[in-house]
Structure 1
């Protein structure tokens, strides 16, 4: 499991070490919080961090957990404030993700006398486009987002799942 978190930890250190200043296109420079991925299939929950690289460009990293699955993902997003609003912006982005699947379970069916360990562990690679809205609550260090984030799995029986959405609740650091 240490190998899963090492790339994420490295990314966090690089993000905090960056000295670029965000301009008016992003409502903050760095925020951390909770990500929730919902839709067809199980819901996933976990920590996330978003960092502006200046202008409209931002990166988002998350580690999501579910039943027998851990998902490690990073995204690039293009962000733009919505004119005439206070703290509301839209974004579009895309990024890769790795899903570590642990299907290992004890097969104990009542009709099967052959009890055995069912081991189908594997890693899936997916691309996740995203289109969404983000709102930073004015004069507070709080932000939230909602997006449509389909899941395009490219390994182990490639498939496209359009019914996936993401919610995020963030605390703004800078």
Structure 2
């Protein structure tokens, strides 16, 4: 009976494992994003979901500096060989900010590291996320922006 149970569990793990590739160690993570650096510090909930293999989307609603920012980023991930749970990623996406009677559009390129803690449903990320602003009659480039993400994975 023990061998049958082990065989069934192994088969289930193999079947479920076909949905994932080596580039990801979790499917979805939800938690808190802290966006700091040039300008205001922004904090809010965010969700990262791997659509397939190396391709993930990150959605955030951030608050700070008398504004609300909504952003959606595409991220391409790859693992570091020999470092279980550690991935690098690059990507970009649009963001819209509202506050003080104004709104602005920005493009957010991103490059960073993502670490899934082995044996725990936790993930930590750190990235460089400069921001290119458009709107309100002027534009701006903030190179010194960084993000720290803390997520519960499932």
Matched, 1:143 2:123: yes
Deviations 1:103-159 (Å, cap 9, x if unpaired)? Answer: xxxxxxxxxxxxxxxxxx111000000000010111110000000000100212111
- Could you tell me which of 10, 35, 58 is aligned with 1:37? 35
Match of 1:172 in 2: 153
Deviation at 1:27, TM superposition (A): 1.2
The structure with the greater share of residues assigned to strand is 2
Deviation at 1:21, TM superposition (A): 3.2
Match of 2:143 in 1: 162
- Could you tell me which of 116, 119, 123 is aligned with 2:103? 123
CA distance in 2, matches of 1:170, 1:21: 21
Deviations 1:35-78 (Å, cap 9, x if unpaired)? Answer: 00000111010000000011110000000001310000000000
CA distance in 2, matches of 1:155, 1:26: 36
Deviation at 1:86, TM superposition (A): 1.2
User: Does structure 2 conserve the Cα–Cα contact (< 8 Å) formed by 1:21 and 1:53?
Assistant: no
Segments of 5+ residues of structure 2 without an aligned counterpart are 1-17
Match of 1:12 in 2: none
Runs of 4+ in 1 over 6 A off after TM superposition: none
CA RMSD after TM alignment:
1.2
Match of 2:56 in 1: 58
TM-score, scaled to structure 2: 0.85
